Amino acid sequence: MVHKLLALLMAVVLTFCSVVIVSAQDGSLISAPAGVLMEASTGKILYEKNAHEQRPCASVTKVMTLLLVFEAIDSGKLSLDDTITASEHAASMGGSDIWLEPGETMSADDMIKATVVASANDAAVALAEHISGSEDAFVAQMNERAAQLGMNDTVFKNCNGLDEEGHLTSAYDVAVMSRALIQHEKIFDYTSIWLDNLRGGKTQIVNTNKLLKTYNGITGLKTGTTDDAGCCISATAARDGMSLIGVALGAATGKERFADAAALLDYGFANFAIKELSTPEDLPESLPVEGGMEPFAALSCTVDSNVVLNKASADEVAYEIALPEILSAPVVEGEKVGSVVYKTGGDTQSFDILCKTDIPAASYSLVWGRLFNSLLAL
């Protein structure tokens, strides 16, 4: 009787899990017209709704602006201590800003803080002009970087997201550029700020991402609101070793935007888990070599990746090792001789098995020497 009750309970649980997944994938998870949930380490899409529909995204545009800013820092082109002077053009921006005056100076650190926390349009343009000489030149770089990332739905017309004809992206592309930005972990020093100040305390700024106060594990990332775009967000959060990116574009209100982001992230954390792959313990350390100067070739295989597991379908990780029984000389260091293939659900990842050393073909003298030694041993 107990076993029957347990079986019935398990069936109910599995049925409920299936319902959760189906209802999520039919588009009812969020109210926004477009959205995506991505696992950050793998780029795997866990949920999508009109993911490639081209839409304006308001100040979420600044994700790409900030990506180029942090890449400029990495390359040495920009330092956080650099002094940035606001131009007439930068100071003329409307919408959310920090009221820069033409000729006013701030450190790059403060300009980034203003861009991230207060979503300041004027600060974003000042950063762009400092890096590229003009906003137009910077926007060209934005589009070039978008193409490199495979953001095929995106055309940028400005660096701050103010409404402009033809300035379009998609929920999928926003997730892609968000994933690229959060690889620069310094960004979290800014996206985690709730309240701060500029100009020596004269200007107070409050983060536009209200999830910082309400969502467990939230790490960022960027909100945006305009008449054309509606209320948009790219929200990042991390729990139990898994990092998620939830994108909602075109929500009717700010409240719905944050509810959609929370629903996306909740769905991800409830239904998926991350597992780190590693080199199989039964991978041979070497293979015999026929006709070589050495009898064995040492092998290496670097496995450094993650896989997303679906909790509801009880995904498991299986792997296969593909290797020949023997190698033929010559063998070159770094030569691929086999592979380790991991399979999880419908996903497959393959990693090369390489030779660790050069093994030339055996010389005639070595062959005759080995034959002579074998005859002596008889």
pLDDT digits (tens, 9 = 90+) for 118-134: 999 999 999 999 999 99
* pLDDT-derived band at 25, boundaries 50, 70, 90: low
pLDDT of 266 reads 98
The number of angstroms, rounded, from the C-alpha of 84 to the middle of its chain's C-alpha atoms is 29
Give residue-wise pLDDT tens across range 206-223.
Answer: 999 999 999 999 999 999
With a CB cutoff of 8 Å and minimum separation 6, the contacts of 147 are none
Q: What is the pLDDT of residues 244-279, one digit of tens each?
A: 999 999 999 999 999 999 999 999 999 999 988 999
Q: How many CB atoms lie within 10 A of CB 44?
A: 15
Name residue 247's amino acid: V
For 258, the token pair is: 């944050």
**What Rg do the C-alpha atoms of the chain give, in angstroms?**
27
Could you tell me which residues come within 8 angstroms of residue 361 by beta carbon, excluding any fewer than 6 positions away?
Answer: 291, 292, 293, 329, 330
Q: In percent, how much of the chain has pLDDT > 70?
A: 89
pLDDT digits (tens, 9 = 90+) for 316-351: 889 999 999 999 999 999 999 999 999 987 789 999
Residue from 96, 119, 170, 178 carrying the catalytic annotation:
119
The DSSP secondary structure of 102-122, one letter per residue, reads: TT-EEEHHHHHHHHHHS--HH
User: Any catalytic annotation for residue 278?
Assistant: no
Segment (H or E) for 38: strand 34-39
* 44 a catalytic residue: no
Which pLDDT score, from 0 to 100, does residue 137 have? 98
Distance CA 14, CA 182 (A): 35
> What whole-number distance in Å separates Cα of residue 102 and Cα of residue 16?
59
Domain boundaries, the chain: 29-272, 286-376
pLDDT of residue 315: 73
Note the pLDDT of residue 324: 94
**Residues 363, 366: Cα–Cα separation, whole Å:** 5
Predicted local distance difference test score (pLDDT) of residue 3: 37
Q: Both tokens of residue 317?
A: 């990780």
Q: How far apart are the first and last CA of the chain?
A: 73
Mean pLDDT of the chain: 90
The model's pLDDT over 271-315, given as tens digits with 9 standing for 90+, comes to 999 988 999 999 999 999 999 889 999 999 999 888 999 987 777
Which class is 29-272 in CATH? Answer: alpha beta
**Structure confidence at residue 363 as a pLDDT band (50, 70, 90):** low
Look at residue 345 in the predicted model and tell me its pLDDT: 76
Q: What is the pLDDT of residue 6?
A: 36
Asked if the domains 29-272 and 286-376 are classified in one and the same CATH topology, the answer is no
Question: CATH number of 286-376: 1.10.472, 2.60.410, 1.25.10, 2.50.20?
Answer: 2.60.410
CA distance linking residue 219 with residue 212, whole number of Å? 7
* Pairing state between β 336-344 and 83-85: unpaired
Q: What size, in residues, is the chain?
A: 378
The reported pLDDT for the residue numbered 375 is: 55
Choose, from 62, 157, 210, 222, the residue flagged as catalytic.
Answer: 62
- Which of residues 365 and 11 earns the better pLDDT score? 365
> Which residues have a Cβ under 8 Å from the Cβ of 330 and sit 6 or more positions away?
292, 358, 359, 360, 361
Which has the higher per-residue pLDDT, 22 or 194? 194
119 tagged catalytic: yes
Per annotation, catalytic residue among 41, 49, 59, 178:
59
pLDDT band at 21 (very low <50, low <70, confident <90, very high): very low
Q: Work out the number of other CB atoms within 10 angstroms of the CB of residue 313.
A: 13
